[in-house]
Amino acid sequence: MKEKLLCGVDLGGTKLSVGLVRPDGALVDKVVVYDHTEKNEEGICLQIRDMVHDLFEKQHIGEDHIRGVGIGFAGHLRFAEGVVITTSNFPRFKMKNFPIRQMVQSHFGVPVVVDNDANAQSYAEFLFGAGSAYDTMIFLTVSTGIGAGLVLNRRIFRGMTGTAGEFGHTIVNPHSDIRCGCGNYGCLMSHASGLALPQIVRKRLKQGAETTLPITDSTPINGQFIKQGLDAGDPLCRSVVLEYADYIGIGLYNLFQIFNPPVIVLGGGLMNWGSLYFERIKKKFYTLAGDMLYDPIEIALAQTGGDTGLIGAAALLLEEP
Amino acid sequence: MKEKLLCGVDLGGTKLSVGLVRPDGALVDKVVVYDHTEKNEEGICLQIRDMVHDLFEKQHIGEDHIRGVGIGFAGHLRFAEGVVITTSNFPRFKMKNFPIRQMVQSHFGVPVVVDNDANAQSYAEFLFGAGSAYDTMIFLTVSTGIGAGLVLNRRIFRGMTGTAGEFGHTIVNPHSDIRCGCGNYGCLMSHASGLALPQIVRKRLKQGAETTLPITDSTPINGQFIKQGLDAGDPLCRSVVLEYADYIGIGLYNLFQIFNPPVIVLGGGLMNWGSLYFERIKKKFYTLAGDMLYDPIEIALAQTGGDTGLIGAAALLLEEP
């Protein structure tokens, strides 16, 4: 083995994936579990250790064959300390002020780094995906939540605590009556995230929006549901997709005015809504930017696919110091 | 003379100032003119040369006593090329695709740098003012227009073209009926800048807002006018100041979520509205940030005073490569 592998850990509220990744971004092998949320914080760290060791056995390698362990985590972190500040992603418990890096590090002799999942995904796109031709790239993930990753001059910009890029919480409609989980009204996340879909769809129904779908109070309204309705030609789903696109277009425009980046990469589950959605996002962006766009900007879809969280977590180990 | 001086040029639509600045930010001497807008582009460059030479004579020094010439300019620039893309700040003509750096450089044997005035001011604050204790600082100028300067890890972040930090153009109210000069509705500049004051005050009057002031169609409504009304206890001016403050508070909150900076510095003419305005800005910010603020952030007023544009332009020569 010429080059050491990278070990990536994608720790989410639903799924825990551990994988071995080559320095060129190719996934070698992975293991996935869904029962980690049954455990407590330390239990999860032990589970990560065991999953890494399982991969070692499968691949007939040892710790000396990996460069380190990178963890992508869905929640707020103190990056320098590797401490989870808080997350509401685990249904059974709230991880609060948990020194996750130190805990995982205690099980390994190689370096462990931890960052939030949006930063990890953005770094995967920057190194191996749609941002790889640039030195600066803004990544926007539109999924259950909305978050940005800021790769500025080849480095992830993290800010004071490590929470830079929380673009989903920026206020884009101060007179909105739609409240986000953060407690504020009118942030981007309250208007254009997966999390907001039930609230927005039910509001439109109350306002008399037409739909061909049998939506009851217990219908689970998520991105997949909207996608199916969109494909079936449902007018309500179509109008929600266009409204969401306009807000994301505003988000892209705001990112453009702030960062003047050469590329913005869009990832996350809602990007699966397809071309109607993506084209409308771009249309809104270009309408707003008008003649203020002096150089071409690339608006691209993420390329690193379903394992982007894992590959990005591993890629964190490649960040230049 | 132990240390070489810096020559700063503040080229605005009303005033052209040229000054000599010590590397510690102290202004040694300056000359100011208001007739530059009578000239064309090349005439202005010649005038800058002559003003610098006047200062040399007054101070009994020559070009070998200065490190270079830094120019702060109110308009959009291609930073790398030192070219004015466009500006609407000069009443008599539109500067378009003008290679201002090259033109000024042709008159000097020392380096010439050109950047926009918000970046220049922010760098003055970063080196000599309210941001000097930090490595990262976001500067927001609230004046006729609104713009940000992004000092990230001791460097000004300028983006692809050089127009990063155009925070005044970010959309904060997509359903707004107030149009900005940029053509869009509901950007921060259309709700909280000096430029928007006449439109907003007259709209409030139409809606029946009470005022003690004799406002006619020809009354010039600017920041100074509102300040006087505020001091005189006029309810309309007070309500406009509070409304403006709430929008700037939203702006600060958005900057916080994006950059997670340790400090945000507020400058520009409207900050002279005083403590009612500043305290309300902070109140709005802290209300929105709530428990998402994990580390203290300093919200500070600019300290470099009336010559900040000049000092900042000079300070551009101190930027680390």
* Tens digit of each residue's pLDDT (9 = 90 or more) over A21-78: 999 999 999 999 999 988 989 999 999 999 999 999 999 999 999 999 999 998 899 9
User: With pLDDT > 70 as the criterion, what percentage of chain B qualifies?
Assistant: 98
DSSP designation for A216 = -
Q: Does A191 touch chain B (CB under 8 A)?
A: no
Of B136, B162, B166, the CB nearest to A257: B166
pLDDT band at A320 (very low <50, low <70, confident <90, very high): confident
Please give the average per-residue pLDDT across A7-30, as a whole number.
95
Q: Does B32 touch chain A (CB under 8 A)?
A: no
- The predicted-structure confidence for B20-51, as pLDDT tens digits, reads as follows 999 999 999 999 999 998 898 999 999 999 99
Question: B262 to chain A: nearest residue by CA?
Answer: A160
For residues A181 and A267, membership in a common domain is answered with yes
Q: Which residues of A267-280 are buried (b: 16+ CB within 10 A; e: fewer)?
A: bbebbebeeebbeb
Q: Does B136 touch chain A (CB under 8 A)?
A: yes
- What pLDDT sits at residue A2? 62
Q: What is the distance between the alpha carbons of residues B31 and B7, in angstroms, rounded to a whole number?
A: 12
The answer, yes or no, to whether residue B104 has pLDDT greater than 60, is yes
For residues A19 and A112, membership in a common domain is answered with yes
Beta-strand pair A5-11/A16-21: antiparallel
Angle, vertex CA A117, rays to CA A98 and CA A250, nearest 5: 125
Beta-strand pair A5-11/A66-73: parallel
For residues A225 and A277, membership in a common domain is answered with yes
Q: Which amino acid is at A118?
A: A
- Positions of E strands within chain A: 5-11, 16-21, 27-33, 66-73, 76-78, 83-87, 95-98, 112-116, 137-142, 146-152, 155-156, 263-267, 298-301
Please, which residues 65-84 of chain A have a Cβ atom closer than 8 Å to chain B?
76, 78
Please give the average per-residue pLDDT across B9-23, as a whole number.
94
- What pLDDT sits at residue A3? 85
For residues A174 and A290, membership in a common domain is answered with yes
User: With pLDDT > 90 as the criterion, what percentage of chain A qualifies?
Assistant: 89
Q: Considering only CB atoms, which chain A residues are within 8 Å of B165?
A: 258, 260
| Domain enclosing residue A234, as ranges | 133-302
Asked if A258 and B148 come within 8 Å (Cβ–Cβ), the reply is yes
Q: Which amino acid is at A221?
A: I
Token pair listed for A246: 């306009």
Helix (H, G, I), strand (E, B) or coil at A14: coil
Task: Looking at the complex, report in whole angstroms how far the Cα of residue A118 sits from the nearest Cα belonging to chain B.
Answer: 13
For residues B79 and B36, membership in a common domain is answered with yes
Of B85, B169, B247, the CB nearest to A294: B85
Of B158, B163, B254, the CB nearest to A170: B254
Best of B115, B140, B171, B244 to mutate (most A CBs within 10 Å, chain A): B171
> What's the full length of chain B, in residues?
321
Q: Does A294 touch chain B (CB under 8 A)?
A: yes
Question: Residue B16's closest CA among B319, B315, B317, B313?
Answer: B313
DSSP designation for A80 = T
Q: What is the distance between the alpha carbons of residues B276 and B268, in angstroms, rounded to a whole number?
A: 16
Q: Which residue's entry shows tokens 């740098």?
A: B113
Torsion of Cα atoms, A86 then A91 then A93 then A99, to 10°: -40
A174 close to A197: Cβ distance less than 8 angstroms: no
Asked if A161 and B295 come within 8 Å (Cβ–Cβ), the reply is yes
The answer, yes or no, to whether residue B251 has pLDDT greater than 70, is yes
For residues A298 and A312, membership in a common domain is answered with no
Q: Which residue's entry shows tokens 């008159």?
A: B107
Q: Does A158 touch chain B (CB under 8 A)?
A: yes
A298 close to B194: Cβ distance less than 8 angstroms: no
Of A150, A184, A262, the CB nearest to B288: A184
- The predicted-structure confidence for B68-82, as pLDDT tens digits, reads as follows 999 999 889 999 999
For residues B51 and B182, membership in a common domain is answered with no
Q: Does A161 touch chain B (CB under 8 A)?
A: yes
- What pLDDT sits at residue A91? 67
Asked if B174 and A246 come within 8 Å (Cβ–Cβ), the reply is yes
Q: Which amino acid is at A176?
A: S
The answer, yes or no, to whether residue A249 has pLDDT greater than 70, is yes
Question: Residue A243's closest CA among A291, A215, A209, A289?
Answer: A209
Torsion of Cα atoms, B234 then B237 then B238 then B243, to 10°: 160
The answer, yes or no, to whether residue A159 has pLDDT greater than 70, is yes
Asked if B152 and A152 come within 8 Å (Cβ–Cβ), the reply is yes
Of B162, B170, B261, the CB nearest to A160: B261
In what side-by-side order are the strands of the sheet with B83-87?
B76-78, B83-87, B95-98
Torsion of Cα atoms, A238 then A241 then A246 then A248, to 10°: -170
Q: Which residue has the higher pLDDT, A90 or B161?
A: B161
CB pairs under 8 A between A and B: 126
Please give the average per-residue pLDDT across A266-278, as a whole number.
97
Q: Considering only CB atoms, which chain A residues are within 8 Å of B170?
A: 253-254, 257-258
Q: Does A176 touch chain B (CB under 8 A)?
A: no
Of A157, A165, A184, the CB nearest to B152: A157
- What pLDDT sits at residue B90? 72
Q: Considering only CB atoms, which chain B residues are within 8 Å of A262?
A: 160
A247 CB-contact burial (10 Å; exposed 0-12 / middle 13-18 / buried 19+): buried
**Three-state DSSP string of chain B:** CCCCEEEEEEECCCCEEEEEECCCCCEEEEEEECCHHHCCHHHHHHHHHHHHHHHHHHHCCCHHHEEEEEEEECCEEECCCCEEEEECCCCCCCEEEECHHHHHHCCCCCCEEEEEHHHHHHHHHHHHCCCCCCCCEEEEEECCCEEEEEEECCEECCCCCCCCCCHHHCECCCCCCCECCCCCECEHHHHHCHHHHHHHHHHHHHCCCCCCCCCCCCCCCCHHHHHHHHHCCCHHHHHHHHHHHHHHHHHHHHHHHHHCCCEEEEECHHHHHCHHHHHHHHHHHHHHHHHHCCCCCEEEECCCHHHHHHHHHHHHHHCCC
Q: Which residue's entry shows tokens 């470099």?
A: B304
Asked if A167 and B258 come within 8 Å (Cβ–Cβ), the reply is yes
- What domain count does chain A have? 2
Q: Which amino acid is at B258?
A: I
Domain harbouring B13, CATH code = 3.30.420.40
pTM of the full structure: 0.96
For residues B83 and B212, membership in a common domain is answered with no
- What pLDDT sits at residue B87? 80
Mean pLDDT of chain A: 95
- Positions of E strands within A38-145: 66-73, 76-78, 83-87, 95-98, 112-116, 137-142
Q: Considering only CB atoms, which chain A residues are within 8 Å of B79?
A: none
Q: Considering only CB atoms, which chain B residues are within 8 Å of A175?
A: 173, 175
- What pLDDT sits at residue A252? 98
Q: Which residue has the higher pLDDT, A13 or A212?
A: A212
Helix (H, G, I), strand (E, B) or coil at A185: strand
Asked if A172 and B167 come within 8 Å (Cβ–Cβ), the reply is no
The DSSP bridge partners found for residue B139 are B149, B265
Please give the average per-residue pLDDT across A113-117, as a whole number.
96
Best of B160, B285, B297 to mutate (most A CBs within 10 Å, chain A): B160
The answer, yes or no, to whether residue B91 has pLDDT greater than 70, is no
Of B158, B171, B288, the CB nearest to A254: B171
For residues A182 and A286, membership in a common domain is answered with yes
Alpha-carbon distance values, B179 to B166, B173, B175, B184, B250 (Å): 17, 11, 11, 6, 19
For residues B261 and B202, membership in a common domain is answered with yes
For residues B53 and B184, membership in a common domain is answered with no
Torsions phi, psi for B223 (to 5 deg): -60, -40
The answer, yes or no, to whether residue B303 has pLDDT greater than 60, is yes
Helix (H, G, I), strand (E, B) or coil at A69: strand
Of B160, B169, B257, the CB nearest to A257: B169
User: Count of CB atoms within 10 A of residue A7's CB?
Assistant: 29
For residues A256 and A140, membership in a common domain is answered with yes
Asked if B170 and A292 come within 8 Å (Cβ–Cβ), the reply is no
Please give the average per-residue pLDDT across B188-204, as a whole number.
95
Token pair listed for A193: 């995230």
